[in-house]
Amino acid sequence: MGWRDREWSRDERDGRAFDPASAVTWIIVANVVCYFAEILFLSSIDPTTARALALCPADVARRGHVWQLVTSMFLHSPDDPWHVTINMLVLGMFGPPTEQRVGTRAFLGFYFAAGIAGGLAFVGVGLLTRPFVPAIGASGAVMGVVVYYTFLHPWETINIYGMFRARVVLVTTVWVGFEVMRFLKSPEGGEGVANSAHLGGALFGFLYYRFGDRVPGLLKKRTRRAPLKVDMMFVELQFQVDALLRKKQEQGVESLTEAEKQFLQDAGDKLGKRLI
CA–CA dist 138, 267 (Å, integer): 47
Whether residue 128 is found in the same domain as residue 79: yes
Task: Give the domain extent around 263.
Answer: 232-271
In DSSP notation, 114-151 reads: HHHHHHHHHHHHHHHS-TT--B--SHHHHHHHHHHHHH
The verdict on 238 and 175 lying in the same domain is: no
Question: Could you tell me the CATH number of the domain that includes residue 97?
Answer: 1.20.1540.10
**Are 117 and 56 members of one domain?**
yes
Residue 172's φ and ψ, nearest 5 degrees, are -70, -40
Query: Does 77 share its domain with 136?
Result: yes
Same domain, 194 and 261: no
Three-state SS letters, 243-256: HHHHHHHHHCHHHC
Same domain for 211 and 236, yes or no, is: no
Q: Are residues 200 and 94 in the same domain?
A: yes
For residues 189 and 251, state if they share a domain.
no
pLDDT of residue 243: 78
Q: State whether 41 and 115 are in the same domain.
A: yes
Looking at the fold, whether 102 and 188 belong to one and the same domain comes out as yes
pLDDT (tens place) for every residue of the chain, 276 residues total: 443 444 433 443 444 445 667 999 999 999 999 999 988 887 666 666 777 899 999 999 999 999 999 999 999 988 889 999 999 999 999 999 999 888 899 999 999 999 999 999 999 999 999 999 999 999 999 999 999 999 998 998 888 767 788 899 999 999 999 999 999 988 877 667 889 999 999 999 999 998 876 655 544 444 444 454 545 566 666 767 777 777 777 787 788 888 888 887 777 776 666 676
Q: Tell me whether residue 227 is in a domain.
A: no
Residue 1 inside a domain? The answer is no
Domain co-membership, 267 together with 178: no
Q: Is residue 2 part of a domain?
A: no
Q: Say how many domains are in the chain.
A: 2
Co-location of 261 and 164 in the same domain? no
